[in-house]
Amino acid sequence: MNGVLLMVVAAAVLACGYLGYGRWLANKWGVDKEALTPAKRMKDGKSFSPVSAFTAFSHQFSSICGAGPVTGTIVAMAFGWLPVVLWVLVGGIFFGAVHDFGALYASMKNNGKSLAQLIEKYIGKTGRRLFLLFCWLFCIIVIAAFTDMVCKTFMFTPAVDASGAATGAIDFTKSYAAGCAGTISILFTFVAIAFGWAQKKFNLTGAAEFIT
C-alpha cells in the first residue's frame, strides 16, 4: 500500500476514534467539561498548577508515543507492516487511549492521586504494593532494553580486510552514524540543563497559567 494513502487512512481512523469512541466514553463516564480540575481547585504553584490544554496534550502524547518508533519498527521488520498498523489503530484506540483516558479521569476525580494511591484506596495496601512492584520490574526491563539499543547505536564499526577478518582498526566511514548519535545525545544533555536554567531564571513555569 502507498505510504501516503496509509497515513491518510490511519489519520482518518484515529480521528473517528477520538471524535466517536472518545465522545461515547466521555458520555458513559459522565465527564463534566465545566468541572474544575484538581490543578485549579487545589492550586498551590507547586504540586498543583494549571497549564494549557496544549501542554497537557504534549505530555500525554510524548508518553504514549515514546516507544512507538522503536517497537513499531522491530515488529514491522519481524512480521510486516500490517500488524503494526493494526496495533497502532486497534490497540491505540481500544486499549492505549482507553487506559490513559480512564487513568487520567480517575486521577482527576480523586484530587490528582496516582494509580498506586487509587489502588490502595479501592483495593488495599497489598494491591498497591503489587502494582508498584510491577512498575519497578517493568521499568527495569524497559531501561535494560533501551540501554542495549543505545549501546549498539553508539558502537563503532571495526575495520575488516578483504577476507573479512578484523584488522584491529576502526572503520570511521561506517562508524560515522554512531558518532552522530553520540554527539546528539550529549548535546541534548546540555540543552536540558540550559532549558532548566532558563525556565527558573525567566519563570517560564508560571507563563502557562495565563494561557488557560
pLDDT reading at 58 higher than 90: no
Instruction: Specify the amino acid at residue 109.
Output: K
Tell me the pLDDT of the chain averaged across its residues: 82
- Residue range 190-204: mean pLDDT, rounded: 84
pTM (2 decimals)? 0.65
* Sequence-distant (≥ 6) Cβ neighbours of residue 212 within 8 angstroms: 40, 50, 51, 52, 53
- Highest averaged pLDDT of the listed ranges 56-60, 79-83, 85-89, 134-138: 134-138
Per-residue confidence band for 129, with pLDDT thresholds at 50, 70 and 90:
very high
- Residue range 157-180: mean pLDDT, rounded: 77
pLDDT reading at 76 higher than 50: yes
Residue 170 backbone class (left: φ over 0; alpha: ψ -120 to 50; beta: rest)? beta
